[in-house]
Amino acid sequence: MNIQDALESQLSELFVVSQKGELTRVRTPFLYPDGGVIDVFASARADGSTTLTDLGESLGWLRTQSLATRRSPKQQRLVQDVCQTLGIELFKGQLMLRCADPARLALAVNRVGQAALRVADLWFTTRTRSVESSTDELAEFLVQREIAYERAVHLTGRSGRDWTIDFQTRTATRSSLVCVLASGSRAAARRISEHVVAAWHDLSNWRLGPTAIHFVSLIDDSCDVWGDEDFKLVESVSEVCRWSESDALEKVLRPAA
């Protein structure tokens, strides 16, 4: 009996088994936090055993939810805890498991699927993060991309009011002010948007003259709390970047000459 037949005979109808090139793909009933389906892939080894893996999709998904290109030390520890608890090997970014007994393939698929689910759920450790931790992550990103910055910059607006802007960055081609918009609440998201718009309006004089500074609003879209109206509000007074698009943010902060 080949791998596909063995899996179809052992797994319930909630799992869909198909062939994908040299791999056998199992579409599990487990879902990533954004609703994407978790897949487990199986391949036969020369010694008769089967290797099951997520092909790195779980850690890849988790990485797309953050500006930082590296997992935080806390996330590293939590990923290792998941692997140790479920007996999963982490190798080159993939969750992997060897199965020597064909009769236990279904159990192995469930273990890899559960590991993928628990790794993806680490997103919830940052979903309700405060603005402070969001700015910490942005600071790490700026260090990685070698963009000079200053945090918590105090500027005076046209009204005479003092504003604290999260970051000022400076590259060879542009200086920018960056406000980070992060929230776990839709109601708070609207208040944050309006506050940032008020700040950019009052500071509009800083956009003028030979030393004009570019205004950037960075929206943490890892939390689905921002409406189209929030984006339109801040777009009217600044350039909007999304947390999930780090390369685009770098191009805004460091445009080509």
Report DSSP state, residue 130.
-
Q: Same domain for 142 and 153? A: yes
| Last residue within a domain, chosen from 126, 157, 177 | 126
pTM score, whole prediction: 0.55
Which of 90, 125, 128, 113 is CA-nearest to residue 31?
113
**Count: domains in the chain:** 2
Q: Same domain for 62 and 106? A: yes
- pLDDT tens digits along 51-88: 999 999 999 888 776 655 566 677 788 899 999 999 99
Q: Same domain for 171 and 210? A: yes
Q: Same domain for 64 and 133? A: no
Q: Same domain for 22 and 63? A: yes
Q: Same domain for 177 and 235? A: yes
Q: Same domain for 113 and 133? A: no
- pLDDT tens digits along 125-184: 554 444 557 788 899 899 999 999 999 999 999 998 889 999 999 999 999 999 999 877
Q: Same domain for 106 and 144? A: no
Alpha helices for the chain (secondary structure H): 3-10, 57-64, 73-86, 105-120, 124-127, 131-144, 186-202, 228-235, 246-253
- pLDDT tens digits along 187-232: 778 888 999 999 999 999 998 877 789 999 999 887 778 888 889 9
Expressed as residue numbers, the domain containing 221 is 128-253
How far is it, in rounded angstroms, from Cα 143 to Cα 148? 8
Q: Same domain for 95 and 132? A: no
